[in-house]
Amino acid sequence: MLASQLQAQHHLSRFSLSDPRVNILAAGIFALVAVLLTQWPALMLLLGLALLFNVMAGTRWRSVIKRLLAFETFMLLLVLMLPFSMPGETWFRLFGLSATIEGASQALTILLRANAVVLALLALLAIREPVSLGYGAAALGFPAKLIHLFMMTVRYIQVLGDEFQRLRNAMKARAFEPASNWHTWRSYGWLMGMLLVRSMERAQRIVDAMRCRGFDGSLYLRSQLLWRKSDSLLLLGLSLLALVPLVWQQFLE
């Protein structure tokens, strides 16, 4: 038991203890390769590499599966609708609508590509502290406003979640029960509206408090990032692995 925990920590250190710029650059290269791939065998290989990255990062598979299920719920609508919305050779008919082979092929391509990118992001970015990712993005020259937005979102997303939960509890205390009717949708509309209003009010209070403490819109890093030789080797290795499916696709063509 102890040996497995130590091994997991060792695997985790490969990605989580490197310079955060390595993770950001590797994720960008992986996403770029995913966009360039069009053939199923190459995309399946890329998906396998994303799974390998999660093994190397020591991510918890229960958490990965939970996040993937939430993502697949969104992808399910695309996969079901795309075959009926693209022209091409008819595959089958349902309720008078024609599903095309080209649409099904495109849906499968998008599904493989999206899952590969999500798994890679879970392995490369989700294991890092959000603050360290902000530091890495600043060191790479990302726009300051974008970094501020990211850092503030990370800091206050839980606050907004707590506010949402308080509003939901208030609705339950008033015996609200959701149903498929106009009252339910109107109540949810009021809920979103109140959450937006309270979020804006809290944001204004936060801005005022930051200005009282001398905030001038600049991002100051508490520590300087140090790029080491091992970071270069790790980025090179991850980049070469990500490029393997792209090279293989060229041979397939």
| pLDDT band, very low/low/confident/very high, at 32 (cuts 50, 70, 90) | very high
| pLDDT band, very low/low/confident/very high, at 219 (cuts 50, 70, 90) | low
Give the range of the structural domain holding residue 122, as residue numbers without chain letter. Answer: 2-128+225-252
Amino acid at 131: V
For the entire predicted model, the pTM comes to 0.74
The CA-based angle 56-59-60, given to 5 degrees, is 140
Residues 118 and 186 placed together within one structural domain of the fold: no
Residues 39 and 99 placed together within one structural domain of the fold: yes
Hey, which residues does 90 pair with through a beta bridge?
100
Sequence-separated (6 or more) residues with CB below 8 Å from residue 86: 100, 102, 103, 106
Residues 197 and 236 placed together within one structural domain of the fold: no
Residue 220 in domain: no
Residues 6 and 101 placed together within one structural domain of the fold: yes
Residues 122 and 242 placed together within one structural domain of the fold: yes
Q: Could you report the per-residue pLDDT of 88-97, keeping only the tens digit for each?
A: 777 777 777 7
Residues 78 and 152 placed together within one structural domain of the fold: no
Mapped onto helix, strand or coil, the DSSP state of residue 74 is helix
Q: Could you report the per-residue pLDDT of 145-180, keeping only the tens digit for each?
A: 888 888 888 888 888 888 888 888 888 888 888 888
* pLDDT at residue 221, as a whole number: 65
Residues 113 and 143 placed together within one structural domain of the fold: no
Residues 45 and 70 placed together within one structural domain of the fold: yes
d(C-alpha 39, C-alpha 44), whole Å: 9
DSSP character string of 143-205: -HHHHHHHHHHHHHHHHHHHHHHHHHHHHHHTT----SSHHHHHHHHHHHHHHHHHHHHHHHH
* pLDDT at residue 29, as a whole number: 92
d(C-alpha 214, C-alpha 210), whole Å: 7
DSSP symbol at 118? H
Closest of 46, 49, 30, 38 to residue 250, by C-alpha: 38
Residues 144 and 95 placed together within one structural domain of the fold: no
How many domains are there within the chain? 2
Q: Could you report the per-residue pLDDT of 74-133, keeping only the tens digit for each?
A: 888 878 887 777 777 777 777 777 777 787 888 888 888 999 999 988 888 888 888 888
Q: How many CB atoms lie within 10 A of CB 60?
A: 11
Phi/psi of residue 40, each to 5°? -60, -45
